[in-house]
């Protein structure tokens, strides 16, 4: 039998530890990696959400209800949105005219929204699939911890990073009334 090592957590009394079984360490390391992947996906979700909000802001912020009268009649205040500025600037230009400029700006915003929505949807689906993997791996880890003598409560509250490093406190010898 291998003697327990002493773990010295910051600000806490010494607690005995025993070596974490290799299978538990491997499962915990896989789970910790999945948690890091989840953080990356959340960053992508947040980025896509910000891009959607920015595109929406370009489209509607300050747009007066009668803005589109400017397209057809060349009159009416256009507000201070991105589209309104394009429409106001296009009224005096010798280019495609206000209709072409506005349609171009709307098309640009449409594709910004489309790309951001696709990125958000893709990241959301990845996160859903990751959740399934995390659930399956968590169940396997809980079973491995139970086999190593951990109680259900200890298995639920175990820190996967500590388990992966082999520094998780030892399982207490307690009756397992759950079996």
Kindly give, in sequence order, each residue whose CB lies less than 8 Å from that of residue 2, ignoring residues fewer than 6 positions away: 18, 19
Q: Confirm whether 177 is domain-assigned.
A: no
Task: Label residue 80 by pLDDT band (50, 70, 90).
Answer: low
Residue 126: how many other CB atoms lie within 10 Å? 16
Please indicate, yes or no, if residue 3 is contained in any of the structural domains.
no
Residue 28 domain-assigned? Answer: yes
> C-alpha distances in angstroms, 90 versus 34, 93, 94, 98?
51, 5, 8, 5
Strand, helix or coil for residue 121: helix
Whether pTM > 0.85 for this model: the answer is no
Q: By mean pLDDT, which of 7-11, 118-122, 129-133 is the weakest?
A: 7-11
Span 40-54, average pLDDT:
95
Position 144 in a domain: yes
- Asked whether the predicted pLDDT for residue 8 surpasses 50, the reply is no
Q: Among the residues of the chain, which ranges form H helices?
A: 22-60, 68-73, 82-90, 97-147, 152-157, 160-165
Containing structural domain, residue 68: 21-165
Residue 84: inside a domain, yes or no? yes
Torsion sign (Cα): 147, 150, 154, 158: negative
Contacts 24+ apart (CB under 8 A), 153-159: 158/28
Q: How many folded domains does the chain comprise? A: 1
pLDDT > 70? residue 35: yes
How confident is the model over 85-122, as pLDDT tens digits? 665 565 554 555 666 777 777 888 888 999 999 999 99
| Contacting residues for 157 by C-beta, under 8 A, at least 6 apart | none
**Residue 11 placed within a domain:** no
169 pLDDT tier (thresholds 50, 70, 90)? low
Report which of 121, 130, 124 is spatially closest to residue 38, judged by C-alpha positions: 130
């Amino acid at each position: 039998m291998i003697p327990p090592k002493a773990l010295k957590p910051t600000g806490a009394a010494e607690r005995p530890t025993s070596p974490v079984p290799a299978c538990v360490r491997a499962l915990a390391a896989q789970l910790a990696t999945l948690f890091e992947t989840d953080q990356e996906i959340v960053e992508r979700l947040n980025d896509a959400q910000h891009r959607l909000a920015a595109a929406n802001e370009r489209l509607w912020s300050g747009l007066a209800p009668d803005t589109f009268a400017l397209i057809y009649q060349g009159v009416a205040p256009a507000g201070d949105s991105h589209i309104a500025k394009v429409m106001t600037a296009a009224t005096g230009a010798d280019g495609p005219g206000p209709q072409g400029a506005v349609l171009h700006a709307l098309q640009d915003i449409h594709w910004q929204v489309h790309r951001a929505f696709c990125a958000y949807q893709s990241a959301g689906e990845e996160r859903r699939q990751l959740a399934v993997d995390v659930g399956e791996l968590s169940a396997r880890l809980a079973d491995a911890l139970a086999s190593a003598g951990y109680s259900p409560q200890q298995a639920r509250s175990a820190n996967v990073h500590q388990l992966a490093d082999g520094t998780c406190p030892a399982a207490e010898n307690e009756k397992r009334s759950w079996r």
